[in-house]
Amino acid sequence: MYKWSTNPSDSITEGQGDNWSAGTLTATPASDGTYYLYIRSYNSANVGNGSTRLGPYTFDDTPPTTPTITGVEVNELDATVTFGGSTDANSFHYEIKLDTGSYVTATSPKTYTGLSGGSHTVYVKAVDELGNQSGEASQEFMIDGIPPTVSNITVTAENVGDPPANNCLQGKLWIDAEVTDTGGSGLASVQIKLDDGDYATMPAKVGGDPEDYEMEYTIDASWTNGTHTVTIKATDGAGNSTTTDAVEFKVNKNTVSGFVGLQNFTWVLKNRDVAFGLNGTTVRIVTLSFINGISAYTLTDVPDMTSISAKTAWSLRKLITGLSAPDGQYEANFTGSNTVLGGDLNGDNVVNALDYSILRGAWGTGSAGDINGDGYTDNADYLIMKANWYRKGDPQ
């Protein structure tokens, strides 16, 4: 007689179990589990002789559940496969196979190195200790040994200063590049960093070709003057990346702005060229539109400054000193006591008889003596000149 029992402290007694007379016993329990085989033997007189226990024996007809490939991380010619998730009543292990190779025992993560370019497929299954095999998980991935190409990087500023510096001034700044990838995996990311900052996504150029990428920055007063750089990094789907050399551009965020007032100037709209002196040297000539004798002005691409002066072809020069602006955004108003005074018609920055003779020569409708800008050279202009007689203008 014999019987299966999951109880290690069981026994087989008279009348229990199934018969077994001789030869090989082939017996399988009804379900998976750990069993003991209890045997009761009989002598020729059919007298039972106790209970013998054999085992334990593990019966397992159930394969592990199918594993999951949770990721294939490709880095250049290497691929690391992570997998798991199978369960089974008994212990089991995983086996892995690449393409048409053979299954080998593996633990997660499994890394393959030096793979050939192109498409690959990895397979994973779980095998329990009785050899029952789970279903097969598989995942395709691409090996691509060719990093992306970044070319034609351009830096375009909305506002550009004069040559030779060609500074990028406050306003928009666009960095453009063409980025392509070969090798099959395609572009995964295009990033750009400004100076030593963090990489940020460089977007596809709106309205551009598929290979065009463009980053827009805004230069404002918070920027530092001088050389800045951008660096572009492109990564393909296989983890190959290309990082460009840093591309330099120069920034000058400085501005000076304010109002210019001309002494006793006409109230109607009138243009006048104003020659600004910066720091006593650089001269900028700007055409300003005056109304009520006042015009706003803004000069960009100016140096760090301590002084600015203003003069027209009808006036003495006025100098404002002591400028200070930590962020380079200077303000200087040629109004009130800094109003630009009229009367210097010959440009020597003094009002005297040489100017008077020009005034006399232009008397009537001549513009050379039209200090107040009303279109005539007449007594109104003479009175301005007279008020400033022998006055010297400020230095540049």
The binding site for Ca ion (CB under 5 A) comprises 60, 62, 88, 128, 132, 144, 146, 181, 183, 236, 344, 346, 348, 350, 355, 370, 372, 374, 376, 381
Nearest to 336 by CA among 325, 321, 320: 320
Residue 128 or 301 with smaller CB distance to Ca ion: 128
* DSSP 3-state of 4: strand
Residue 247 or 368 with smaller CB distance to Ca ion: 368
If you compute the radius of gyration of the chain from its CA atoms, what whole number of angstroms results?
A: 46
CB of 42 to Ca ion, least distance (A): 36
Neighbours of 21 (CB within 10 A): 7
CB of 257 to Ca ion, least distance (A): 28
Residue 362, Ramachandran bin (φ over 0: left; ψ between -120 and 50: alpha; else beta): alpha
Residue 146 or 275 with smaller CB distance to Ca ion: 146
CB of 314 to Ca ion, least distance (A): 9
CB of 72 to Ca ion, least distance (A): 16
Q: How far apart are CA 166 and CA 175, in angstroms?
A: 16
Nearest residue to the partner Ca ion, using Cβ: 183
Residue 144 or 211 with smaller CB distance to Ca ion: 144
Do residues 65 and 86 touch, judged by C-beta distance below 8 A? yes
Nearest to 284 by CA among 257, 263, 261: 257
Task: Give the chain's length.
Answer: 396
For residue 336, the 8-state DSSP code is G
CB of 41 to Ca ion, least distance (A): 33
CB of 32 to Ca ion, least distance (A): 7
Residue 58 or 70 with smaller CB distance to Ca ion: 58
Residue 178 or 216 with smaller CB distance to Ca ion: 178
Nearest to 233 by CA among 158, 156, 155, 181: 181
